Amino acid sequence: MNRSIFLVGPMGAGKSTIGKLLAAQLRLPFADTDKVLEERTGADIPWIFDVEGEAGFRRRESDVLEELCRGVCQVIGTGGGIVLLAENRHKLQQCGHVVYLQAGVEQLLERTSKNANRPLLYVPDPRKRIEEILREREPLYREVADVICTTDHLNPKQAAELVAERLQDFLCQ
């Protein structure tokens, strides 16, 4: 495999967790765009949102994506909103194989409720916000995806195996 694998999808779909397992299974390094961004800035995502707003965060996220595209072949878990910018969608498609990790609202609510590092969900009604995010981003995830895998009702290991299987099928066509 000579191209990186990008995992896209909404927050809580399992991009980081599944990505680490997939990388181990494929014997590739793993990178998480949010973690790389936090390491580069020395600040966490909520702080960047507070100080620079979502637009500032998205600019930084694009820079990280550009950097990772120039790096070694690896599995890369992306931030849920990375597809919002057309330039990022183009980079994802040009630099690797894109897997859309799809999950239903119930699963996303359950998974994100355990993590306070979700600035877009600092709202009175997280369910409504997740539904809004999905309506906006679903077409963009589908636009960039080479492979779509639904992670509902799968544990992370099962999901990583499904992605590897589906990706292998895609790569062997």
34 labelled ligand-binding: yes
128 labelled ligand-binding: no
3 labelled ligand-binding: no
Rounded CA separation 104/89 (Å)? 22
Helices 105-112/126-144 angle, 10° precision: 110
4 labelled ligand-binding: no
9 labelled ligand-binding: no
13 labelled ligand-binding: yes
CB–CB of 101/158 below 8 Å?
Answer: no
Nearest Cα residue to 133 out of 80, 56, 77, 61: 80
55 labelled ligand-binding: no
89 labelled ligand-binding: no
In three-state secondary structure terms, 38 is helix
80 labelled ligand-binding: yes
User: Residues within the annotated binding site for substrate?
Assistant: 34, 58, 80, 137
Residues placed in the known binding site for ATP: 12-17, 118
Q: Residues within the annotated binding site for Mg(2+)?
A: 16
Where is the binding site, in residues? 12-17, 34, 58, 80, 118, 137
